[in-house]
Every structure is written in structure tokens, then in C-alpha cells.
Amino acid sequence: MLARLLLIRHGQTDWNRDRRWQGWSDVALNETGLAQAAAVAERLRNEPLDAIYASDLIRAAETARQIGAHHKIEPVLDPGWREIALGELEGVPASQVATSGEAVTTTFLSGPLAPGAETFDALQGRLVAALKRIVAAHAGQTVAVVSHGGALRTLIAHVIGLAPQHIHHLSLRGNTGVTMIDFRNRRPQLTLINCIAHLR
């Protein structure tokens, strides 16, 4: 079992700033996002990281590379850590999609949010599979994963045993927010969530 799992959301993109749903759209970090990535990399400079994994989408990969530079670690890019694929909702302003997080969650759990979008079961399945690959390869080690808000909320809920219908109660709005899960006696303990102290 891992010793510690650090989950980090990528830095800001223009679509984050404009509150557009971006899913698998490969949107790069903007100037603010690059500064955020540098800040979280500095924060984690002295964390004893053994490996870094990231979504292969550029916003996560670039954030991970900045973290890895301090540790001389090249991130492993794995599409299993991608955000949910949103199909026809890619690029749509959030204000046009739903009235509440609960409404989105309810729709999401009953099927894809839009034509061409991923289902909840598909998203959770590939994230859990990606985590299992890390657990198998890094027993007793500390691993960082740079991914996306929706993906990380889904994984955190799974790891701590939160029922899917309550995922909307988790917020990972802070770009480069750090979440920490420690494993004690092979059991996960959520010890920090979405901390953005490095941005202050």
C-alpha cells in the first residue's frame, strides 16, 4: 500500500477563468495557471516524492512537470487520469448547463451528461484502475498525481467511501489545490483537501 497520495488539481486555464466546461479539450495553462503551477511546485519542493503521475492533457502535464523539476522526476503521463469527457458540453459556459451541483450529479449518475460524454461508471472505473496501477508499483512510497477537478472529486469520494450521490458536497474549485490521503494500516485517511495556501 502507498504511504501517502498527494492529489493536485492543474493550474488555471482561460476556460477555468471563463467558467467553461473543458473535459478532454486540451486547453493550455494561462499566465495565472503557470504562476500557480510554479507556486505549488515550490510548496512541494521538500515533500519526499517518489513518483509523479499526471493526466496527459496539457494543463495537468505542464503542472506536473513544474512539480517534477524540483525533484528531478519526469512525470508519467497516463490518460487514465483525464477529466471526464463531456462530449457536446465541451466549451459550454457553466451558466448554461445546470442550476446546481446536485442537479448535475443526479443527471450524471443516471447516464452521460450529453451526447458523446462519459458516464459516471466509466469515469470512476478508469480512475480506480489508474490508482490501482500506482498502488501496485509504489508500495510504501509517496506519490503525487496531477489531475482535474471532476476526476479528483470522483476518486476522493471512492477512496473515502462517500456515496456517489453526495459528490457535489466536495469542492475542488481551487486550481492547484492539494489534497492529501495518508494510508494507515492500509486504510486511507483524508488529511487535507483542496489546500491553496501556496497561492496566498
The pLDDT tens digits of the residues spanning 44-66 come to: 999 999 999 999 999 999 999 99
Segment 113-125 mean pLDDT: 91
Among 3-17, 39-53, 96-110, 163-177, where is mean pLDDT lowest?
96-110
The pLDDT tens digits of the residues spanning 84-101 come to: 999 999 999 988 876 545
Among 6-15, 106-115, 163-172, where is mean pLDDT lowest?
106-115
d(CA 154, CA 85): 13
Confidence grade of residue 114 (pLDDT, cut at 50, 70, 90)? confident
| pLDDT for res 113 | 81
State the CATH number of the domain containing residue 91. Answer: 3.40.50.1240
Percent of residues, the chain, with pLDDT higher than 70: 95
List b or e across 122-140, with b for residues whose CB sees 16 or more CB atoms inside 10 angstroms: ebbebbeebbeebeeebee
| pLDDT for res 185 | 85
Segment 101-122 mean pLDDT: 78
Residues noted as catalytic: 10, 83
| pLDDT for res 95 | 85
- 122's CB contacts (< 8 A; 6+ apart) are none
**How many Å from the N-terminal Cα to the C-terminal Cα in the chain?**
33
| pLDDT for res 41 | 98
* Contact criterion met (CB below 8 Å) for 11 and 59: yes
| pLDDT for res 112 | 83
The structural domain count of the chain equals 1
| pLDDT for res 109 | 74
Inform me whether the pLDDT recorded for 199 exceeds 60.
Answer: yes
List b or e across 41-77, with b for residues whose CB sees 16 or more CB atoms inside 10 angstroms: bebbeeeebbbbbbbbbebbbbbbbbbbeebebebbb
Confidence grade of residue 105 (pLDDT, cut at 50, 70, 90)? low
Determine the Cα angle at 157 with ends 93 and 76, to 5°. 80
Confidence grade of residue 70 (pLDDT, cut at 50, 70, 90)? very high
Sign of CA dihedral 8, 75, 23, 80: negative
Give me the domain span that covers residue 174.
Answer: 4-199
Sheet holding 187-195, edge to edge: 76-77, 51-54, 142-147, 4-9, 178-184, 187-195
Among 78-82, 164-168, 172-176, where is mean pLDDT lowest?
164-168
Give CA torsion, residues 191, 62, 43, 80, to 10 deg.
10
